[in-house]
Chains A and B, each alone.
Chain A
Amino acid sequence: MKRPTIPALVIVVGVLLLADLLVVNDSLGALAGIAIDAAILVAAGAALAGVAALAARRTGDLWRRRGDPIGAALVLAGMAAVLIAGLRPGADGASEPAVQWLVSALLVPLGASLFGLLFVTTLAAARRSLELGSREAMVLVAAAVVVLVLLLPVSGPAGVAMAGAAEWLLDVPIGAVFRGVLIGVAILAAVFAARTLLGIGAADE
């Protein structure tokens, strides 16, 4: 049997925050502020606990020589490098130049080089999808080709008309589909969040 403590807590806090949204009252605002601060503290604690669990797990991997010891050593070394750079005496934390160097000289270039492959992989995926005869992919690629053609830098009245047509396509039909998806996502996200918080729908097969 499920314990009703957490759903009850969620409902109480939810009603409190809703009341604070609708009603201007100093006491209510202070109570809502406490609830929000507590949520921030819990999230920060959970993040720290998660990092500690990762470090403990990787240390265990290294100590017992299981899994991927090189990967574990790299993870621990990376964590140590950032922690030492950011937390050593006199350091400015995340704004410390050494930490920023680690990010800007290592992480950002690595990410940028990967994203350089995006153009090639997208074209390859489009070609493969067309070869497979996927109906959705055909519609997608056809729409992309139409928009690309309309956006070609053509001069004169024809170019203006093409640019206008492209703008209309993006604003009206494509924009409508996009907005529809966003509305659906918003509704389902709200329902899913409510079910998760209230503990409705325990998985069972």
Chain B
Amino acid sequence: MPTPAELVGRLVRFVGDVLGASTLRFEIGTTLVVLGVLLVLLQLIARPVSRWVTTDVGGLAAVNRAMALAAEAGTDAVVSLGTAGIARSTDAFGRLQTLSALPLLGHVARAAARAGVPLRVLTNDALAGVAAAAALDSAHERTATLERLGRSRIVMVGEGRASAAGLVMTARARPAAAVATGSLREEAMLHLEGLRGGAGSLTAATAEAAQAPSAILAGGGALIGPELFQAASDLRADTNERTMVMAANRLIVVAVLAVAVGSALVLAGVIVPDDLLLGIGGR
């Protein structure tokens, strides 16, 4: 039986062998840059500071008022989770937008639960529907209104991005408030126009840069580009929620500085972008 010293020796030898059999995939500079970016990102996420400012992003602060109007009028409210889904055949960016829509759904669902307003959640993805059902359950549980849960429903609008637009354009219901949040692409204008046609108020949120005009022209509150990911933090004031906003503030400042300094260096002829970028290349 080996002694503890032998075990430690074998472990050290094994680690040495592993290291000996390895080589860096990139040059040392690129490797350090990747690790440095990761460390900065983690540090920014984990350490909140005091640069947080509150803003009424996308008019979401008015959700409670809209719910009060809906309760008085006896109508419902609609939340569309976009058209990317989670399990559908789409890209990771679209899926991430669907995930980012869930905190907004939770916010609207809590307001609806308190006001006794039924909520319709539109999705074209089965897994997103399950997540939305969980968000509704959680909202009613937190507001101690489980008896109202049955009035809200998840509407599966069918496969494809066009089907969601078709449904909202042909629906006869007139909700008091509509929120479309998540990935909206070529169908964005149809989707938002369909929701706006019946709704008392509309908030459109999408991180798809090409669809920013659709969100602006929809005429309600708009969360454009990065604001979709920030919105969840702006809705509440606890430390964890603020962390993302503050991290974003710092990262944006760093990115702007990097772009400005890089541009100045290029203009001054200190660096040549092609040489710099192509010179670092990995194997």
Interface residues of A (CB under 8 A from B): 18, 21-28, 43, 46-47, 49-51, 53-54, 67, 75, 107, 110-111, 114-115, 117-118, 121-122, 124-126, 128-129, 132, 134, 136-137, 140, 144, 178, 181-185, 187-196, 198, 200-205
Contact = CB atoms under 8 A, between A and B. Distances in A.
A185 B225 contact: yes
B178 interface: no
28 contacts: A18-B38, A21-B34, A22-B34, A22-B35, A47-B87, A50-B126, A50-B130, A110-B162, A115-B186, A115-B190, A118-B186, A118-B190, A121-B189, A122-B189, A124-B193, A128-B217, A132-B219, A137-B217, A144-B213, A183-B259, A184-B255, A185-B207, A185-B209, A191-B244, A201-B240, A202-B240, A204-B238, A205-B107
Contacts of B229: 185, 188-189, 191-192
B18 A25 contact: yes
B216 A136 contact: yes
Interface stretch (B23-31, B49-57, B67-75, B268-276): B23-31
Nearest to B127: A50
A204 B235 CA distance: 10
Contacts of B38: 18
A87 to B, nearest CB: 17
Interface residues on B, range: 35 or more
Contacts of A204: 236, 238
B157 to A, nearest CB: 10
A124 B192 CA distance: 12
A43 B86 CA distance: 9
Contact of B162 (A114, A136, A196): A114
B22 A28 contact: yes
B193 A111 contact: no
A51 B214 CA distance: 31
B98 to A, nearest CB: 11
B61 interface: no
Contacts, number: 189
A75 B155 CA distance: 12
A178 B225 CA distance: 10
Nearest to A114: B162
Given A187-B255, A191-B41, 14 more contacts: A26-B21, A28-B22, A46-B86, A46-B127, A50-B87, A53-B129, A114-B190, A125-B218, A137-B217, A181-B212, A183-B259, A187-B251, A191-B248, A201-B233
B247 interface: yes
B54 to A, nearest CB: 14
B87 A125 contact: no
A110 B24 contact: no
B193 A203 contact: no
Contacts of B213: 140, 144
B224 interface: yes
A121 B213 CA distance: 13
Given A121-B190, A125-B218, A201-B244, A182 B209 contact: yes
Contact of B236 (A128, A183, A205): A205
Given A125-B217, A187-B248, A203 B106 contact: yes
B129 A22 contact: no
A118 B190 CA distance: 6
A201 B232 contact: yes
B230 A129 contact: no
Interface in B79-117: 86-88, 93, 96, 99-100, 103, 106-107, 110
Contacts of A111: 160-163
Given A140-B217, A190-B41, A23 B22 contact: yes
